[in-house]
Amino acid sequence: MRSPDRFLLLFLSTQLCLRSLVAEPFDYPTAAPSTSWTNNPSLENNFTYADGSMVRAILLCSSNPSFEGLSFAAGFFCNAACDAFLFAVFIVYTDSGAVIMDPVMTASPQVVWSANRDRPVRENATLHFTEDGNLVLRDADSTVVWSTNTSGRSVLGMNITASGNLLLFDRKNASIWQSFDHPTDSLVPGQTLREGQRLIANISTTNWTRGQFYLTVLADGLSAFVDSSPPQVYYIRSFSGPEAKNKSAYVTFTNGSLEFFDSFTKRGVPDENITLPSASSVQHMRLESDGHLNVYGWSYQTGWNVVDDVTSQELDNCAYPTVCGEYGICSNNGQCSCPGGTNSGSNYFRPINARQPNLGCSPVIPLSCQSLQDHQLVALQDVTYFSSLLAVEYGTYFPSVASLNLKTEESCKQACLKNCSCKAAIFQYGQNTSDHGSCFLPWQLFSLMNNQPTVTHYNSTLYVKVQIVPRTTNGTLNSPTSRKKVMGVGVILGSTIGALFAVLLVVGLFVLFMRKKNSNMEEEDQFDQVPGMPTRFSFEELKVATKNFCKKLGEGGFGSVFEGELGDMRVAVKRLDGIGQGKKEFLAEVETIGSIHHVYLVRLIGFCAERSYRLLVYEHMCNGSLDQWIFYRNQDVSLDWQTRCRIITHIAKALSYLHEECRQRIAHLDIKPQNILLDDNFNAKVSDFGLAKMIDRDQSHVMTRMRGTPGYLAPEWLTSRITEKVDIYSFGVVVMEIVCGRKNLDYSQSEESFHLISLLQEKVKEDRLLDLIDNHSNDMHLHHEEVIEIMQLAMWCLQIDSNKRPSMSTVVKVLEGAMNVETCLDYNFVTTTPVMSSNVNHLDASPQQSASLLSGPR
């Protein structure tokens, strides 16, 4: 399939693409009509990423020199589960031969456009570029899923441009159809969002069906909405102030800013820009399923990361519509609770899931339009609503969401009670007492915002609608029509039934109340009484102990660590981020970790599981983490050979205990110097064990991700089953770092030696291991024979075949002199090294390297 494409290329490619075309056979940005591609292994430029996602490229333009190895490609893409594919445009990393690869081993392809993402296709789906110039996507069963509808419009070819635009062009090179005109949830640099066009977010992070958030350009600015009927606005960036301009407008994503234009100023004079971090290479911008607008940037150390969140430049965390689900109240930047708490609202709402307060709340008695007379408005104290604030400021532009003609609080409430669809009445007082207020009547009530006077205080009142009568089994008693009938029959009968009804109501409410109370009590009890656990602290206690988290000791993969004092004991308090699991699971994990005691493992003293806070309290280690001592960042003090040797032995014993001796086998999965702490006598203790498992219980998308840190990852992360052997590989890397006094991946070194393990491979073959010993320390050189022996041990641990690595108990025996290092070692530690080295700005790396990449583990 490639050869005809390439042929056409000779005539069609841009200058940019031409440059690499001459040299590189795999760059193929263009295709001619009468071609079809089937989504199966016949698409050869494919790559499976560590998280399980896969791309199969059809068109690829790898030649924008400023992208430093990143390329736009069009083809089939499947996400982590890989059970469904999209025809998409994505950004991938390619080597100098335009072969897709992943230099950081944790990246995933970045999808910036896709065809009909509501309807993914299967293996063997086909993309057909028909003779008459139509591009059609058919699923494996031949149903048409998507088409550009460009038959008969003299399409001459299709190409992917260096800026990521998929386009069909005619004889005059004029664009007949282009993906930039049909944005999905992302923008790439140079792409424009025009008035009326929308970016629509995924429904969730694991499902690319179009969800409820969208970003659009209106005549007066950029706005983000949550779709309900009518849509509610939560973000506005106006061109210049709240005055309408009535001009056709657009926004362009450029390197470093979002530029605003209106069509009257065709000269391209922007009215207002949003400043973004400027990029060294390609960026893209994506509307997330939680309503944030994130800018992603690429780095060789860490792959793709969020470098900016555009909406949060103006919005508080609580101002996102779904942050606490429907009816949930958001306070303190993300704590969720239900309306009520201690006041009258408490009987009306309950959490949808008590363990996950961010899912929101539901009315205990659902609102029913059959019994409108039983609707009531309950005032919620110190609460306001995201959209009402904007509606007041910009109300005239959003007549659908704000009823501005209702000038008093009372008329606002009445209007809500009269309309069954209205879920709440929010009345916002004017700035001055003379100003009229405004009334906001949402038909769907998303998250509420705490409006404590201490924070920015909005003078508004919020009433939420509730149903006061519990519906009986079949609506016969309390439906308005039947009640009228009853009254007609006679007052006595009527009042009897009325009394009966009242009794039913009281009993009903009582039962409901008791049930709710019981379930709450059960839960709390369960949480509090777990025997044999480390001490449980309240969040307040830990806040005091750490002086409001003021002194940060470090930051790890799972959260930040703060210094604290409990009584006269110094402690390290770890605040975990992004643990989605419920309290029960968390407590089970804490119990496990708390029951593991070993002299070379950092001891867990206590924990806190309150609301969504999850904290762990560890013993404090005076000398901090090992990396501070071996990489010479802060101090010039150099550890002597004895100390280094002891530290290595302690780590080995700790891992041997975790792997082989303790009740529950534990693989650490993130062994690195930052996780090895030193006490005042330089005894080493391993920290962060057990956390990998805790995080794994998190949502499924995290579960499929790779764990660990680049530089310490064993090769089998890419391919096979993960066992505790990955720790042994990481241990080998750490040992090399300790004896060489440098990081495994050290980009400040020259290109040949930035990767220590590659250097080791080279030196051991040349028999020049001495070159590697830490030059800061004479003591190390004095003991060079022992140091070389330890390097041999490290090399045993670094075997690519995990079965050839020693067990941790064997390592301990070697360190104690009871055993010798295996003599028959494989001195190739890095089949993947070429991947690593070709990423450092040297796209012209020799072609043999990519050949070995291809045969390397995928």
Ligand X SMILES: *[C@@H]1O[C@H](CO)[C@@H](O)[C@H](O)[C@H]1NC(C)=O
By annotation, the residues acting in catalysis are 670
Eight-class DSSP state of 806: P
Residue 28 C-beta: closest distance to ligand X, Å: 10
* Backbone phi, psi, residue 292, to 5°: -80, 150
Cβ neighbours of residue 574 under 8 Å, at least 6 residues apart?
Answer: 556, 558, 559, 560, 561, 562, 615, 616, 617, 618
- Which residues of this chain interact with ligand X, rule CB under 6 A? 12-14, 17, 29-30, 40-41, 44, 46, 56, 79, 123-124, 147-149, 159, 161, 167, 169, 172-173, 175, 185, 202-203, 205-209, 219, 246, 256-257, 259, 270, 272-273, 286, 288-289, 429, 433, 459, 474
Q: How far is the CB of 305 from ligand X (least distance, A)?
A: 14
Pair 709, 688: CB distance under 8 Å: no
Q: How far is the CB of 252 from ligand X (least distance, A)?
A: 9
Q: Which is nearer to ligand X, 21 or 745 (CB)?
A: 21
Residue with tokens 């602290």: 537
CA–CA dist 62, 282 (Å, integer):
12
Query: Looking at beta carbons only, is 322 or 643 nearer to ligand X?
Result: 322
Query: Burial, 433: exposed, middle or buried (Cβ in 10 Å; 0-12, 13-18, 19+)?
Result: exposed
Compute how many other C-beta atoms are within 10 angstroms of the C-beta atom of residue 296. 20
Please count the CA atoms within 13 angstroms of the CA of 174 that sit on its side-chain side: 5
E strands along 626-714, which residues?
A: 676-678, 684-686
Q: Which of 105, 87, 32, 76 has its CA nearest to residue 715?
A: 105
Calpha distance 331→81 (Å, rounded): 35
285 within 8 A of 198, measured Cβ to Cβ:
no
Cβ–Cβ under 8 Å, residues 478 and 501: yes
Least distance (Å) from ligand X to the CB of residue 240?
10
Q: Which is nearer to ligand X, 307 or 769 (CB)?
A: 307
CA distances, 541 to each of 527, 553, 613 (Å): 18, 19, 13
Q: State whether residue 850 is helix, strand or coil.
A: helix
Q: What does each C-alpha distance from 826 to 660, 725, 796, 832 come to in angstroms?
A: 26, 17, 8, 15
Q: Select 304 or 754, whichever has its Cβ closest to ligand X.
A: 304
Q: Which is nearer to ligand X, 155 or 651 (CB)?
A: 155
Which strand (E) or helix (H) includes residue 508?
helix 491-528
Question: Tokens in use for 83?
Answer: 């059970």
Determine if the peptide bond prior to 230 is cis (ω within 30°).
yes
Shortest distance in whole angstroms from residue 523 CB to ligand X: 29
Q: Which helix (H) or strand (E) holds 58?
A: strand 54-61
Residue 500: name the closest of 524, 517, 476, 532 by CA. Answer: 476
**Minimum CB distance to ligand X smaller for 207 or for 699:** 207
- Minimum distance, C-beta of residue 161 to ligand X, in the bound complex (Å): 6
**Both tokens of residue 595?**
């029951």
**Least distance in angstroms from the C-beta of 158 to ligand X:** 8
- Least distance to ligand X, CB of residue 342, Å: 21
Quote the DSSP letter at residue 345. Answer: G
How would you label 239-270 residue by residue, b for 16+ Cβ within 10 Å and e otherwise?
Answer: beeeeebeeebbbbbbeebbbbbbeeeeeeeb
Q: What are phi and psi of 129, to 5 degrees?
A: -95, 100
Q: For ligand X, which is the closer residue by CB, 286 or 805? A: 286
Q: Return the exposure string of 486-520: e unless at least 16 CB atoms fall within 10 Å of the residue's CB, then b.
A: beeeeeeebeebeeebeeebeeebeeeeeeeeeee
DSSP letter at 706 equals: P
Closest to ligand X by CB, 167 or 601: 167
State in angstroms the smallest separation of the CB of 227 from ligand X: 13
Token pair in block for residue 760: 């080791």
When the beta carbons of 111 and 604 are compared against ligand X, the nearer one is 111
CB of 178 to ligand X, least distance (A): 9
Q: Which residues make Cβ contacts (< 8 Å) with residue 284, sequence separation at least 6?
A: 91, 110, 112, 186, 187, 188, 189, 295, 296
Nearer of residues 142 and 823 to ligand X, judged by Cβ: 142
Q: Taking the complex as a whole, how short is the minimal distance between the CB of residue 460 and ligand X, in angstroms?
A: 8
- Give me the least distance between CB of 174 and ligand X, in Å please: 7
Whose CA is closest to 131, among 155, 147, 167, 115?
A: 155
Distance, in Å, from the CA atom of 135 to the CA atom of 158, rounded to the nearest integer, reads 9
Token code pair at residue 817: 């002199």
Determine the angle formed by the axes of helices 641-656 and 725-740, rounding to 10 degrees: 170
Q: At closest approach, how far in Å is the CB of 93 from ligand X?
A: 17
Q: Radius of gyration (Cα) for the chain, nearest Å?
A: 32
- Residue 460 makes CB contacts below 8 A (sequence gap 6+) with 384, 385, 388, 426, 427, 428, 429, 451
